Structure 1
């Protein structure tokens, strides 16, 4: 019996199948918007200003401060100026970096939220997907500052920060990606909507006609959005 080589059509068909497999394996992308409910977080902190330190002392709630001549304020860009921290007798004012205050306050807020998360773990109320809470977005420009104590002789001052931010549920997005990759769009949507605090799920796939989640988890992108934002 004489062996017959496969026809050109056979090779073309195989090539097309390989191209399609490659295309629908590598190219699909998913953008998933999780519309979540939030709750207010209201806190206040006492912060010390110290002109004798050069760095933020996170454990002592202290940030560096500078004593400058009041008329030189324009030179100190990036610093916070508060009229109540001005000494009329010496025409000096206490200034501090806005970023230093932000870093310290954010550090303290995140520490408190992490402690609450640890309590859930200790009480066996912990989910591998739902990890606790996080601030959706900090708004330092809305924080209120009250002067509690100022002592030019000791070069130390104390202020109080009042803040109100929105907190949302924190999710392990990497694990979520692993759970829904290569699943049907409807399955992924239903699973995500079953998570706490998620009110709506919007999944946009590319190509648009492809109703399967991407094979690779790094082709899935999550965005967290506030309800009615």
Structure 2
């Protein structure tokens, strides 16, 4: 069995490592956060009062979630206490919860955002994790899960050479959708994304037209209660 990565060891240089691995696509590591959250913001049409980022790490996405959903309360959770210490320093006033210490219910959320988390969850624990997300979701809420695309050779190379991806077991869209369905969630949409580097902004319009093509750097799945 692959040893589970201890993310506490990477809190000081997480952004540096990420930048090294993705600079060929964008020199601005904020691009990926903005891209995903903009996509979610455009897709969600219902009012959002509470947002959870599940697996928030050091909180890189939190400010962008706050900007996109400026009327909502944003909460972050993670298993890495050291990462959450950094997130709290960088995002004063935001509530962060350690999943390993979460002994009381967090309440319900209208939106749950999950980016690059499931490939770190042991395969036999993924349905349980998805069930936890379902239990935290309001009846009309949405879960958006972003994952690395295992069909993209560049993505696979990045994962294979990244120290904090040592425990990564990539899952394809069908596997992720089946995991969510096994947790009694209804998958409403799934697309590939991250095709065009920002330096080719004149081609950015293609992003919304290529969601069917399994060549994007990542993909996303949207799910909600199966009722």
The normalised TM-score by structure 1 is 0.22
Higher share in strand: 1
Higher share in helix: 2
Higher relative contact order (CA 8 A, sep 6+): 1
Structure having the higher Rg: 1
The normalised TM-score by structure 2 is 0.22
